């Protein structure tokens, strides 16, 4: 595995030199300097409307309509830049996708969703209401006898939900609360096999990679999925989202939602009404060069292998502390997988229950008052998941989440642990 230069990575984020510890990265990462430079360059030197024939407009058009999709394509490993849609957020991109699919959904069609982030859940529930479809839930199961909050998705619980009427299967590649990584390729293969056996006519798979993209490499072609989403602003980029739509779905499933006189045919631009922020699209082209700079190999696979290895070094001490018998006796319960592994991102949530229980809000307030470390509490838009946990939690108070990025250090993790020791004292 290639070496990962943490000092070089941190040098791309000037604010890290202040010593402040950013541990709410699943909510939004810091932005790499390469990205900021491109946004500035676009606004100062090519800030004109697209599509005109004069030279600056030609350059601007190339940056937004050519360079942007080509770079995003690499992060998805899509087959073509024509399969890439940009939008201001992942939620909006998926709302637009559902609008585009509306004419292809029939009453009685079945959607299978999880209780994870509502972006890849709510759109399908709303579409089901509009079109008379039926929603089924792939539920999490308890994976620890000692900890009822240690839950995860298991593919064997999904397969019985598939029927001849299954139309959409939507799930997360990595939970933004549990941190667990779902084996997307295995799930997609199992879905397609079961759907074929049960006579489903057309099944399309939508994967939420928002919490996955900062930690692991996406590969929509190898996974064999139809739709995939992530947010650049959680992958060291600007506040914009990238959506992958398989070419065949664009041809046979998706109707155009842009102005009727625009002839975009099978190009994913048919799902991009009004156009995204031009400077953010061009700014997003700085993400891949930044990632490639992290290892000598100049290869995305090598980069993500190095990131996942570093993730493990960050998650291990924090999870070991939270699951130590002393903390368990105190009432600390990790929400999700309790051990560090390559099947888990360093997005770590917990609650404190029992006779000496603590509200998640109060734990985070202690950190805020102490200063220097940013963490957060709540349901993080995975409301259904938090609400389903037993013993019951207040979804508004939710969980305490400490979400680490590859630019965090073990020393920073140890400082977080030191504060937690004070909280639990």
**How far apart (Å, rounded) are the C-alpha atoms in residues 348 and 336?**
8
Q: Decide: 236 and 31 in contact? Cβ < 8 Å.
A: yes
The strand ranges marked E within 176-226 are: 204-208
Peptide bond into 231 cis (omega under 30): no
Q: Torsions phi, psi of 277, nearest 5? A: -65, 120
Give the model's pLDDT for residue 415.
98
Q: Tokens 């397609």 — which residue?
A: 192
- Tell me the two tokens of residue 18: 């202040």
**Residue 2: its pLDDT value, please?**
54
Give average pLDDT by consecutive 10-residue segment, the chain, 425 residues.
80 97 98 98 97 97 96 98 96 97 98 96 98 98 96 97 98 97 98 98 98 98 98 98 97 93 84 92 98 93 96 98 97 97 97 97 98 98 96 97 98 98 97
CATH 3.40.640.10 in the chain, residues? 41-290
Q: 6-31+297-424: which CATH architecture?
A: Alpha-Beta Complex (3.90)
**Tokens representing residue 216 in the block:** 């692991």
CATH architecture for the domain at 41-290 = 3-Layer(aba) Sandwich (3.40)
91 phi and psi, to 5 degrees?
-60, -45
Contact (CB, 8 A) for 229 and 88: no
* Cβ atoms 7, 17 nearer than 8 A: no
Q: Are 179 and 342 in contact (CB under 8 A)?
A: no
CB 22: neighbour CB atoms within 10 A? 21
Residue ranges of the chain assigned to CATH 3.90.1150.10: 6-31+297-424
**The pLDDT of residue 1:** 43
Assess contact for 272 and 258: CB atoms under 8 A: yes
């Amino acid at each position: 595995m290639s070496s990962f230069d943490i000092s070089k990575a941190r040098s791309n984020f000037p604010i890290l030199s202040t010593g402040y510890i950013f541990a709410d990265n699943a909510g939004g990462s810091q932005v790499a300097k390469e990205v900021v430079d491109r946004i500035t360059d676009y606004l100062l030197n090519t800030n004109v409307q697209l599509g005109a024939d004069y030279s600056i407009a030609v350059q601007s058009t190339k940056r937004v309509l050519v360079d942007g999709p080509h770079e995003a394509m690499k992060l998805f490993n899509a087959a073509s830049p024509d399969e890439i849609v940009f939008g201001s957020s992942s939620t909006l991109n998926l709302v637009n996708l559902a609008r585009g699919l509306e004419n292809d959904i029939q009453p009685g069609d079945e959607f299978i969703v999880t209780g994870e982030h509502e972006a890849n859940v709510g759109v399908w529930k709303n579409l089901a209401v509009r079109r008379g479809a039926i929603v089924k839930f792939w539920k999490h199961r308890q994976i620890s006898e000692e900890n009822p909050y240690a839950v995860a998705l298991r593919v064997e619980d999904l397969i019985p939900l598939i029927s001849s009427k299954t139309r959409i299967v939507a799930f997360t590649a990595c939970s933004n609360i549990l941190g667990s990584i779902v084996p997307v390729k295995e799930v997609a293969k199992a879905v397609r096999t079961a759907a074929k056996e049960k006579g489903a006519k057309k099944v399309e798979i939508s994967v939420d990679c928002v919490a996955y993209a900062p930690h692991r490499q996406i590969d929509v072609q190898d996974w064999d999925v139809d739709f995939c989403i992530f947010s650049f602003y959680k992958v060291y980029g600007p506040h914009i989202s990238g959506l992958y739509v398989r070419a065949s779905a664009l041809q046979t499933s998706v109707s155009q939602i842009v102005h009727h006189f625009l002839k975009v045919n099978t190009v994913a631009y048919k799902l991009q009404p009004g156009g995204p922020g031009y400077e953010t699209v061009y700014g997003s082209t700085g993400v891949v060069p930044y990632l490639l700079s992290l290892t000598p190999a100049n290869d995305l696979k090598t980069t993500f292998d190095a990131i996942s290895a570093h993730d493990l070094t960050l998650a291990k001490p924090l999870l070991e502390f939270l699951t130590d018998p002393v903390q368990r006796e105190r009432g600390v319960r990790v929400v999700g997988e309790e051990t560090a592994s390559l099947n888990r991102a360093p997005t770590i949530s917990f609650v404190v229950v029992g006779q000496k229980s603590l509200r998640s809000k109060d734990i985070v307030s202690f950190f805020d008052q102490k200063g220097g470390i940013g963490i957060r509490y709540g349901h993080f838009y995975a409301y259904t998941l938090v609400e389903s946990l037993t013993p019951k939690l207040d979804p508004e108070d939710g969980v305490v989440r400490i979400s680490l990025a590859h630019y965090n250090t073990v020393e920073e993790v140890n400082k977080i642990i030191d504060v937690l020791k004070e909280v639990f004292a």
